[in-house]
Amino acid sequence: MLLPRTLARSIAAEVLVFAGIGFLAFIVILLVQNLAQRLEELVAVGLSFRDAGAVVIHLVGMVAPYAVPVGFLFGVLAAVGRLSADSEVTAMRSCGLGLGAIFGPVLAVALVVASLTALLMIRVEPAARRDLRAVLADVASRGAIFRPGRFRTVGGLVLYIQSRDLDDESLLKRIFIADRSNPKRPFLIFAQSARFRFDPDQLLIHLEMENGDIHLESTDLSEHQRIAFAGFDYTLDASALIDAARQLKPSEMDLGQLSDVMDNPPSASPGRSLSQYRAHFHRRMAIPFAPFVFAALGVPLGLRRSRAARSWGVLVCIALVAAYYTLLGFGQFMGETGRMPAAIALWIPNVVFGLASIPLLRSAQRGMA
């Protein structure tokens, strides 16, 4: 009929509008939170506008798969709540329209949102994590490991620089290096200046030092050696200093790569169990189903709102999101540690929310009858 079709389009459009507002609000919160965690490190290396833009773009790719379902939940609560508060639900009942007139359009939007979430979760998020790590490694390679006035200890190395040139960030001044990576042959390096150069292909840092001394340490003072130099090229293994390991983390792998590791356990990286890869695989599969359980919960909860309780939609949304992602974090922990099969652990939030929606939907159906 024309009326239900027009009504369905109107409800779907209103859900999408409110969902867009919720998505923008939630993604801003997540971006600020993630940027705050890395702000000190990025500022310390003189983050450029280009670097900042790249970081923000990749962070959006990382948080968008989680913000889209949350925005949809807010859209459902806000749109259905407005219908209820403005007595439009009462008008629908008087026209003989039941719960399906509302739940049908919402479910159709949920299908679109779930498809978008799956695309973001399976393709965009792992790529964004890989690209972000590359950007941060590049920023770090330009000097994050050399912070003026601070000692940096990494493995058997102690690094210190007094200052950096303001016009040329690759130029370091007053350098001290204590190299005890080989306990049988420790040595100290003092230099007036050094030129910093990073080799991204080999993950090596070259310090082209000028005007300094090398002190070869020994327990016997008579064997102590001092070598003066006008120029000396000192090389550091950058993979030990910055987070740029060649082996991909499970969170950075797409479904194909995770499947390969699960099918060939020996290819898993050292220090990571097979259960971690399984947990990330099922996480990618489970989250795209969140819009369906959010729709099943959001519609009956939205119908319960009154004109005096419009602000409750935000509070209900926050409570449901907190509960869902708390359960998801619990499932991730249980799955990664092997305490529970990942195929069960990562689906706990969807199962719990799905079961909770059944009595709410029945109650809403009786109320619309």
In a domain, 68, yes or no: yes
In a domain, 84, yes or no: yes
210 & 340 share domain: no
> pLDDT tens across 21-70, in order?
999 988 988 888 777 766 655 554 455 667 777 888 888 898 899 999 99
In a domain, 201, yes or no: yes
pTM of the prediction? 0.73
Which residue, 240, 273, 300, sits at the end of a domain? 240
Rounded-to-integer distance, Cα 173 and Cα 175, Å: 6
pLDDT at 346: 93
103 & 183 share domain: no
268 & 356 share domain: yes
In a domain, 352, yes or no: yes
Low-confidence ranges of the chain (pLDDT < 70): 1-3, 37-49, 136-145, 154-155, 169, 200-203, 218-223, 238-247, 266-271, 305-313, 368-369
pLDDT at 314: 76
- E-strand spans in the chain? 152-154, 157-164, 171-179, 187-199, 204-216, 225-237
> pLDDT tens across 102-149, in order?
888 999 999 999 999 999 999 999 999 888 877 766 666 665 567 778
Q: What angle separates helix 49-85 from helix 312-336, to the nearest 10 degrees?
A: 120
Tell me which residue of 226, 192, 186 sits closest to 209, measured CA to CA: 192
Rounded-to-integer distance, Cα 358 and Cα 337, Å: 31
pLDDT at 139: 67
Phi, psi of 55 (to 5 degrees): -60, -45
In a domain, 147, yes or no: no
Rounded-to-integer distance, Cα 232 and Cα 218, Å: 22
CB of 141 closer than 8 Å to CB of 242: yes
Which residue, 240, 265, 281, sits at the end of a domain? 240
Q: Report how far apart, in Å, the C-alpha atoms of 358 and of each of 98, 138, 232, 297, 352 are.
A: 17, 50, 73, 8, 10
In a domain, 233, yes or no: yes
Which residue, 240, 262, 293, sits at the end of a domain? 240
Phi, psi of 212 (to 5 degrees): -155, -170
User: Which range marks the domain in which residue 190 is found?
Assistant: 152-240
219 & 158 share domain: yes
State how many domains the chain has. 2
pLDDT at 163: 84
103 & 173 share domain: no
In a domain, 351, yes or no: yes
254 & 135 share domain: yes
In a domain, 174, yes or no: yes
